Structure 1
Amino acid sequence: MFEVGVIEEAGAAEVALDPIRARLLALLAEPHSATSLAAIVGLPRQKVNYHLKTLESHGLVELVEERRKGNVTERVLRATAASFVISPAALAAVQPDPSRSPDKLSARWLLAVAARLVKEVGQLITGAARAGKPVATFTLDGTVRFASAADRAAFAQELTAAVTALVSRYHDESAPGGRDHRVIVAVHPSIKPRADQAQTEIAAQTETRES
């Protein structure tokens, strides 16, 4: 089982977003049969089995083992990942396009870039899995607390200069056998766990006043 699975097909996204199937997916982080799941969710085994077959047909769950009980064969299933993200590729007609309105100070442009990141890394993971090869990636994730909006702006300027210098040093347009790598650096206000909509709006209003 993977830690994170990427849903790239519209049909699989529709299936995963169904409330009952989403709950079954969460429970299937551990192996279960239709019978054991039915007892947990309070639904008839036949109905649970129908949902499981639908999830399995879209590659969201997989067979772990089959147990023979008398004249019945019990299928034990598990989710193919502990959690899932839906790629913008599943909404091809309306997926964000960061090239349409690039604006380094726009939160919506950041969202469009992040969506492209999910799409591209998802495609890399899928392709690498088929080829049996790893994906070469590197990730930094941290938090910085700014004393003021002015400090935040100064940080952004210094970060831009540092990254630009680093890219200039290592970028080789004519390198034989070289491969382009996308570099994304983002800074945004952090949100505390279980923050509700009101907290999010307050954070946004505070950012607006400081700016």
Structure 2
Amino acid sequence: MNRNQTVPETFIVTEPEQAAALLHPVRSEIISLLKEPRSATELSKVMNDSAQKVNYHLKTLEKVGLVMRAGTRNVRNLVEVLYRSAGKTFLLSDSLGLSQETIRKLKGQTALAHVLSLTEKIKRDAVSLMEEAENEEIPSAVMEMELSLLGVEERQAFLQDYSNMLSELIKKHHDPKQGKSTTFHVSMAMYPKPEGGGTT
């Protein structure tokens, strides 16, 4: 990649080694600083760390494909290698099979990335269902709503109440025998409404 190439908006994390790199605090910081090309020397100044240590982590990130070379430049008769992140945001693939505990450890916007991951799963499932359907309507439902919450405590209380209510509904209507019944996937996603109003 040269300096003029555009960094993809989203990079799909498909390998365990990539997920492990995102879990590493120093490496995740490096990735966040590489939205624009930078050298190991530049990164070391921003991070207040040694160039040798930063370069070591850069090599590891390059090896697993989370950063890539974006060209070189001459600085005082020395050639510096420039690096860029492989994407502006990183999305965990369902194929990774990461536990919820591992996902929670990811810093930055991991919760939102998980929402994106869920969205992709729903999209793939919907396409598969449409391909399997033979002129029959697929039983499905979507519910959207908005609510205003003052802070973290209210948000947590709402999520707890919602989770309890949903658990009771599932317990009430779920067919434990699963004989001729159809299994449905139920999901919930919650996130702040974008200032611009989001998509409609």
Q: What TM-score results when the alignment is normalised by the length of structure 2?
A: 0.55
**Partner Cα distance (2:15, 2:123) in 1:** 11
Among 47, 53, 67, the residue aligned to 1:41: 47
Cα distance change on mapping 1:76 and 1:200 into 2, 3 Å: same
Matched, 1:31 2:37: yes
Q: CA RMSD in A?
A: 4.2
Matched, 1:117 2:117: no
Tell me which residue corresponds to 1:64. Answer: 70
Cα distance change on mapping 1:191 and 1:25 into 2, 3 Å: farther
**Partner Cα distance (1:209, 1:91) in 2:** 27
**Partner Cα distance (2:157, 2:92) in 1:** 28
Unpaired runs of 5+ in structure 2?
Answer: 1-6, 101-114, 170-200
Verify the 8 A CA contact 2:94 2:121 in the aligned structure 1. no
Q: What do the CA deviations read for 1:25-55 (whole angstroms, capped 9, x no partner)?
A: 1110111100000000111001000111111
Greater RCO structure (CA 8 Å; 6+ sep): 2
**Partner Cα distance (1:190, 1:53) in 2:** 45
Cα distance change on mapping 1:205 and 1:53 into 2, 3 Å: closer
Cα distance change on mapping 1:4 and 1:69 into 2, 3 Å: same
Tell me which residue corresponds to 2:176. Answer: none
Cα distance change on mapping 1:205 and 1:68 into 2, 3 Å: closer
Q: What do the CA deviations read for 1:31-81 (whole angstroms, capped 9, x no partner)?
A: 110000000011100100011111111111111111133553200111110
**Partner Cα distance (2:139, 2:55) in 1:** 44
Verify the 8 A CA contact 2:40 2:51 in the aligned structure 1. yes
Q: Secondary structure at the match of 1:117?
A: helix
Tell me which residue corresponds to 1:5. Answer: 11
How far apart are residue 188 of structure 1 and its match?
Answer: 6.2
How far apart are residue 88 of structure 1 and its match?
Answer: 2.6
How far apart are residue 14 of structure 1 and its match?
Answer: 0.2
Verify the 8 A CA contact 1:191 1:200 in the aligned structure 2. no
**Partner Cα distance (1:2, 1:15) in 2:** 19
Verify the 8 A CA contact 2:149 2:155 in the aligned structure 1. no
Verify the 8 A CA contact 2:72 2:80 in the aligned structure 1. yes
**Partner Cα distance (1:43, 1:34) in 2:** 10
**Partner Cα distance (1:34, 1:45) in 2:** 6
Report the residue type matching 1:2 in the other structure: P
Among 49, 57, 61, the residue aligned to 1:55: 61
Among 132, 149, 159, the residue aligned to 1:204: 159
Cα distance change on mapping 1:28 and 1:203 into 2, 3 Å: same
Verify the 8 A CA contact 1:66 1:76 in the aligned structure 2. yes
**Partner Cα distance (1:39, 1:184) in 2:** 53
Task: Give aligned-pair identity as a percent.
Answer: 27
